[in-house]
Structure 1
């Protein structure tokens, strides 16, 4: 029998994170495209981002038929937050900014995120923005596939800190940090240290 869940944060009711989710307005609009494999994951950070940002939209799927309309929102310049050879540092985007950004963020493992780009050619054609090198994740329960790899929520917060400086978006990380602490507590400190502390 499954445990009752909070309908908002999708966590078990006795581990609900809603009290820690703060609504933060942003000039930047976010379109988070989540691969279906992430939707029911216990550590669903994209959902936490969407709950904390009124100007964010979270869609789950592999092929997004409405993408042309979603990207053509008047008053916004769309760009894809994704590394690669064509990616331009987000700081350069900000320096050249005329109108607010529509930041498109794929959510999934690197393999699944690339699949989203493959299944949605319009995404792959978007100009790309990248985060600075050297950022480190607080995601202590997943081994990062490469240096600088962040959870989706951490990447969004890092991007907004750059785009809308000097505004501070770090409060969006509060439920994420509580979630990680709760997972570590559930597994026991000794198990955590043995399996994750050297990451």
Structure 2
């Protein structure tokens, strides 16, 4: 017998996260491009970001033919939130000369799949990159980060918004994420979690 999932958060109905998902306004526009393999992932943090932010949009695919229309938003500076040697470090809006808000395109997938999205979408690869000056440690305690400073998509979005829109704080977006992690730890049992994940 298959489990019935919530149509909004895609979680099993008895583990629905919707009551924990906020509805936050932001100056920054977030466009999440999700690799199809992430849609049914247990965490699916890009979906949590899209549901929790009013000025966000989630698209699923590998090739985004409508990308020019997606990023053609008057009044915004456009960049990809993804590490690169030439990436511009994000600063609070209050610090800068340019008062226009950012439209941040955020590829969602494993590092390999996120890079594939950049490769398959030449316009995406041509956009400037932005990154965080300081990365707070990930709250995803269930697996070792593939690279130093690696974050889930949701964590990266929250940290970017916390920098850009300070003193506003977007940590409320992490409530459903934390609940997911705690639920997975509870499901595996504290002994198994301690043995396999706590150093």
- Paired with 1:75 and 1:134, the residues of 2 have a C-alpha distance of 28
Unaligned ranges ≥5, structure 1: none
Partners of 1:195 and 1:132 in 2: how far apart?
31
Does the residue aligned with 2:40 lie in a helix, a strand or coil? Answer: coil
Please list, as runs of the form range in 1=range in 2, the aligned pairs for 1:58-73 lying within 5 A after superposition.
58-73=58-73
* Equivalent residue number for residue 87 of structure 2: 87
Contact 1:34-1:58 within 8 A present in 2 as well? yes
Aligned to 2:197: 196
C-alpha RMSD of matched pairs (Å) = 1.3
In the superposition, relative to structure 1, how do residues 92 and 11 fare at CA in structure 2: closer, same or farther (>3 Å)?
closer
Q: Kindly indicate whether residue 145 of structure 2 is the aligned counterpart of residue 150 of structure 1.
A: no
User: Which residue is 2:180 aligned to?
Assistant: 179
For the pair 1:47 / 2:18, whether they are aligned, the reply is: no
Does residue 1:133 correspond to 2:134, yes or no? yes
Instruction: Report deviation, 1:98.
Output: 2.4
SS at match of 1:158: helix
Question: Conserved in 2, the CA contact under 8 Å of 1:80 and 1:123?
Answer: yes
Task: Name which of structure 1's ranges 83-92 and 29-38 shifts more when overlaid on structure 2.
Answer: 83-92
**How many residues matched?**
198
CA contact (8 A) 2:92 2:166 kept: no
Q: For the structure 1 residues 134 and 54, does the alpha-carbon distance in structure 2 shift closer, same or farther, using more than 3 Å as the test?
A: closer
| Rounded Cα–Cα distance in structure 1 between residues aligned with 2:149 and 2:53 | 24
Q: Which runs of 5+ in 2 are unaligned?
A: none
| Structure 2 length-normalised TM | 0.96
